[in-house]
Amino acid sequence: MKELKAFFGNRLPNNLNYMKIRNIYRFYLLIYVLLFTSCLTFSQKNHMDEIKIGSNIPSFTLPDQNGNLFDINSVLGKKNLVIYFYPKDDSPGCTAQACSFQDQFEVFKEADAVIIGISGQSVESHKEFAIKHRLTFTLLSDVGNKLRKQFGVPTNLLGLLPGRVTYVADKTGRVIYIFNSQTQATKHVDEALRILKESK
């Protein structure tokens, strides 16, 4: 209590050193409160706008691994969609996940589903990743993570690691399932197939 009074009060009005230090602390406290409030407001807004089960997949256009613009409207209303956000090309978990999607490519095709992988790397990085692991499905380059933020994909490790989230949408473009796991990379494939089979 004494510390609070000393911090907010004026116990030593004639002590210039004390007054200077107190005012510096007050200034940084004010900055902290303002930043915290701004982050909280931004987080709540993003949470309200994020894609959830029952949401419709928003319209977007991004370049694929071949440098061609991919418009989601070209498949919306025609195909089931498996849209997965992953952290980084060629990392161990992302490679395992992508190769698992590729291994089940024909099964997804039979379910009339399109696989779309999205991360923040460049078109060139996606191209190298696709060639190296013989990936034939679409990889989209979301440089700046604008679409990731629009979907509301969470981050891990205090915001340092982009999240790994899969969205399954039906042919109307409505999200019917979301799977969020950073560590269970290949389970995203199993869960997407399970939901597509159950929704038939």
94 noted as active-site residue: yes
* 3 state SS of 81: strand
Confidence bin at 106 (pLDDT 50/70/90): very high
Of the candidates 75, 94, 135, 165, the residue annotated as catalytic is 94
Confidence bin at 4 (pLDDT 50/70/90): very low
CATH of region 61-198, choose from 2.70.98.10, 3.40.640.10, 3.40.30.10, 3.40.50.2300: 3.40.30.10
Query: What is the average per-residue pLDDT within 132-155?
Result: 95
Query: What is the average per-residue pLDDT within 149-177?
Result: 90
- With a cut of 80, say whether residue 5 has pLDDT above it: no
What span, in angstroms and rounded, lies between the C-alpha atoms of 119 and 19?
Answer: 51
Q: Tokens for 61, please give them.
A: 């256009």
- pLDDT at position 14 is 58
Mean pLDDT, the chain, rounded, equals 86
- With a cut of 80, say whether residue 111 has pLDDT above it: yes
The model's pLDDT over 41-80, given as tens digits with 9 standing for 90+, comes to 444 444 446 899 999 999 999 999 999 999 999 999 899 9
Question: CATH 3.40.30.10 in the chain, residues?
Answer: 61-198
Alpha carbon 104 to its chain centroid, in Å, reads: 23
Tell me the CB-side half-sphere exposure of residue 171, using CA atoms within 13 A: 7
Confidence bin at 86 (pLDDT 50/70/90): very high
Query: What is the average per-residue pLDDT within 9-20?
Result: 60
- 158 near 72, Cβ under 8 Å? no
- pLDDT at position 155 is 84
